[in-house]
């Protein structure tokens, strides 16, 4: 079993919009990075990052959400360039259905692993628009949180049944958002927390998003706060990876390494 990062691109946001106390002059590059989990029973991507059509996806967003972006290389292109056999890829497990996490699905003909809450969110919500267009041709493998409480979260889904990849519900950003816990055979542990917070500052400084952004971006800010505090409590025991913090992926090898 092994973990790789596939940085597909970045987009620009001012820190003032990213977390409470952030400066307006401090521009942050937000990562759009997919993570490959290699596992003897079939590999998974956690999120898909930017795909080859990301320009069109950004154009379809409301004007205030559009941002300068850079496409590095889609997950699909990186997998192919490294000689990866796509037959090993069992599916893409999405932390949630927002455009910056699913754009790359358009280039990947594999199933999407999703829970009922996020399927419902993405089916009806404006934030699910890009997902609806890129997922149309995909099989959806719907999973349920039928496992026991896990690390303070009320229920869990153990993807492989061996504890190596455990998904827990963290509704708040979207109604079906999740945190994905990965434990490697080396004992190294990771929590891929999606958009519970956008930057590591959110973990280190316990800073939430600014109020207006919480209202705009989060389905349930109170629930999000609870889940963020749960994750902050775990920060000493594992590597916490907010989806959009470029430096949070440090230490996870690139596919070509």
Question: Pairing state of beta strands 239-241 and 189-192?
Answer: parallel
- Nearest approach in angstroms of CB 16 to Zn ion is 17
- Residue 4 or 50 with smaller CB distance to Zn ion: 50
Over its C-alpha atoms, the chain yields an Rg (Å, rounded) of: 17
- Nearest approach in angstroms of CB 131 to Zn ion is 12
| Integer Cα distance of 49 and 6 in angstroms | 8
- Residue 90 or 98 with smaller CB distance to Zn ion: 98
Please report, as ranges, the residues that interact with Zn ion according to CB under 5 A.
Answer: 98, 100, 195
| Integer Cα distance of 35 and 241 in angstroms | 11
- Residue 90 or 249 with smaller CB distance to Zn ion: 249
DSSP for 149-176, please give it: PBTTBS-BEESSSSSSEEEEE-TTSSTT
- Nearest approach in angstroms of CB 225 to Zn ion is 18
- Nearest approach in angstroms of CB 123 to Zn ion is 19
- Residue 20 or 88 with smaller CB distance to Zn ion: 20
- Nearest approach in angstroms of CB 133 to Zn ion is 17
Give every CB contact of residue 110 below 8 A, 6+ residues apart in sequence: 86, 89, 90, 91, 92, 138
CB 50 within 8 A of CB 100: yes
What phi and psi, each to the nearest 5 degrees, are found at residue 71? -90, 120
DSSP for 54-94, please give it: HHHHHHTS-GGG---EEE---HHHHHHHTT--GGGEEEEE-
- Residue 107 or 245 with smaller CB distance to Zn ion: 245
- Residue 100 or 218 with smaller CB distance to Zn ion: 100
Terminal Cα-to-Cα distance of the chain (whole angstroms): 16
- Nearest approach in angstroms of CB 160 to Zn ion is 26
CB 129 within 8 A of CB 122: no
CB 41 within 8 A of CB 160: yes
For 165, the token pair is 């990849």
- Nearest approach in angstroms of CB 243 to Zn ion is 6
- Residue 217 or 234 with smaller CB distance to Zn ion: 217
């Amino acid at each position: 079993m092994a973990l790789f990062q596939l940085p597909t691109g970045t987009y620009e946001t001012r820190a003032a919009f990213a977390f409470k106390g952030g400066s307006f002059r401090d521009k942050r590059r937000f990562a759009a990075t997919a993570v490959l989990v290699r596992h003897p029973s079939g590999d998974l991507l956690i999120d898909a990052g930017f795909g080859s059509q990301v320009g069109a996806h950004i154009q379809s967003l409301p004007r205030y959400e559009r941002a300068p972006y850079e496409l590095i290389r889609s997950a699909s292109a990186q997998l192919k360039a490294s000689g990866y056999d796509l037959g090993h890829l069992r599916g893409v497990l999405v932390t949630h259905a927002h455009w910056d996490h699913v754009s790359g699905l358009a280039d990947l003909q594999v199933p999407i692993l999703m829970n009922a809450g996020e399927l419902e969110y993405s089916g009806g919500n404006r934030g699910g628009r890009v997902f609806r267009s890129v997922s149309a041709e995909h099989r959806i493998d719907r999973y349920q949180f039928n496992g026991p409480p896990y690390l303070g979260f009320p229920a869990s889904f153990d993807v492989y049944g061996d504890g190596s990849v455990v998904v827990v519900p963290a509704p708040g950003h979207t109604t079906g958002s999740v945190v994905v816990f990965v434990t490697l055979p080396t004992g190294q542990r990771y929590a891929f927390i999606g958009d519970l917070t956008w930057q590591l500052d959110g973990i280190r400084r316990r800073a939430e998003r600014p109020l207006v952004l919480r209202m705009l971006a989060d389905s349930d800010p109170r629930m999000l706060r609870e889940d963020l505090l749960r994750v902050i409590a775990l920060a000493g025991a594992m590597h916490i990876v907010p989806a959009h913090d470029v430096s949070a992926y440090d230490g996870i090898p690139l596919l070509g390494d």
